[in-house]
Amino acid sequence: MQESTLRTTLNPIQRDTPAPKSWVRRWIPVIVILGLLIAWQIVTMLEIYPTFIIPPPINVAEKFYDVLLDGRLWTHTQATLSAVLSGLAAGVSLGLVLGYLIAKNRLLEDSLAPVIIALQSTPIVAYAPLLMIWFGSGPTSKIVTSALIVFFPTLMNTVVGIRNVPQPLHDLMRALRATRWQTFIKLEVPAAMPVLIGGLKISATLAVIGAVVGEFIGANAGLGFLITLARSQYDTALVIVAVLTLAFIARILYWLVTLLERHLLAWQSRARAG
């Protein structure tokens, strides 16, 4: 007992260091937000800019209450959310299928790579007007715009995830006489899942950007349309309300993907614990 105590005293590094308290991590975001609100209020009190350029937080809160009460915020949020979810589903589905085919076929990669890279290297705002001309100013053009911006990260993560499956595991599946479908379900999907989930996290936030870009170009509903309308009327408080709503949508989508990640990758945590 005395030897153990002496060893602990002489080697303080070996002693267990207390883990950071969980409540501190939970409250840090709240503290940061409160700090930003206080700084915002101080700037408005100093009257560096007129209130129609930088409205105080209370004005934004009042505007949020007004548009929430008269139903405008929900109407435009519903239009944007519909385009975001539809575009996300379409872009992710196409990216997963085509990414898997490219990962398995080098000839297909060589054939499609120039077109895919050209689409990705061109800013979305450059061909959004074309999509509006081709698909109209309705929700279809916004869905296509959102799907296109989601497609590339999903495609690349799928290719990387499938090609990074260790070759010895493929050899093992062939030795066990596994069918192609069994190899896909039992090996490739679980092995590539961490990379695929990472791409889905990026795509969930990019889908919001794609939908709003489409609404900026031409729309009669949506949060992007609301921002354009408020900007033309110098209603900065309404612009801030719409922007914060978009940020909230993106954050919720990211959180939902995180929950999906915990569920699908729970086996990794069990493996580490074992």
pLDDT digits (tens, 9 = 90+) for 97-127: 999 999 888 888 888 888 888 877 778 777 7
Give the tokens for residue 9. Answer: 């005293």
Please, are residues 65 and 122 in contact by the beta-carbon 8 Å criterion? no
The residue written with tokens 């590339």 in the block is 152
- How far lies 235's CA from each of 216, 218, 221, 238, in Å? 17, 20, 17, 6
Q: Percentage of the chain with pLDDT > 90?
A: 22
Confidence of residue 20 (pLDDT cuts 50, 70, 90): low
Helix axes 72-104, 236-264, angle to 10 degrees: 40
pLDDT for residue 95: 92
- Rounded Cα distance, 147 and 144, in Å: 5
204-234 pLDDT, tens per residue? 988 998 889 888 887 788 898 899 988 888 8
Please, are residues 191 and 60 in contact by the beta-carbon 8 Å criterion? no
Q: Percentage of the chain with pLDDT > 70?
A: 88
User: Quick one: average pLDDT of 71-83?
Assistant: 91
Decide if pLDDT at 67 tops 50: yes
Give the tokens for residue 130. Answer: 């074309």
Domain spans, the chain: 57-273
Instruction: Fill in the DSSP letter of residue 12.
Output: G
CA torsion 62-69-223-261 (nearest 10°) is: 100
Chain center to CA of 233: 31
Residue type, 53: I
Chain center to CA of 22: 25
Residue type, 125: V
CA torsion 176-182-185-188 (nearest 10°) is: 50
Decide if pLDDT at 3 tops 70: no
pLDDT for residue 240: 92
The residue written with tokens 């799928």 in the block is 158
Please, are residues 52 and 68 in contact by the beta-carbon 8 Å criterion? no
pTM attached to this predicted model: 0.80
Decide if pLDDT at 64 tops 60: yes
Q: How many residues does the chain have?
A: 274
Decide if pLDDT at 26 tops 90: no
- Rounded Cα distance, 252 and 133, in Å: 32
Chain center to CA of 26: 21
pLDDT for residue 253: 92
Give the tokens for residue 186. Answer: 């039992």
Neighbours of 91 (CB within 10 A): 27
Residue type, 267: W
Helix or strand (DSSP H, E) at 135: helix 124-135
Please, are residues 165 and 174 in contact by the beta-carbon 8 Å criterion? no
- Rounded Cα distance, 196 and 181, in Å: 19
- Pure H helices in 47-70: 57-69
Architecture of the structural domain at 57-273? Orthogonal Bundle (1.10)
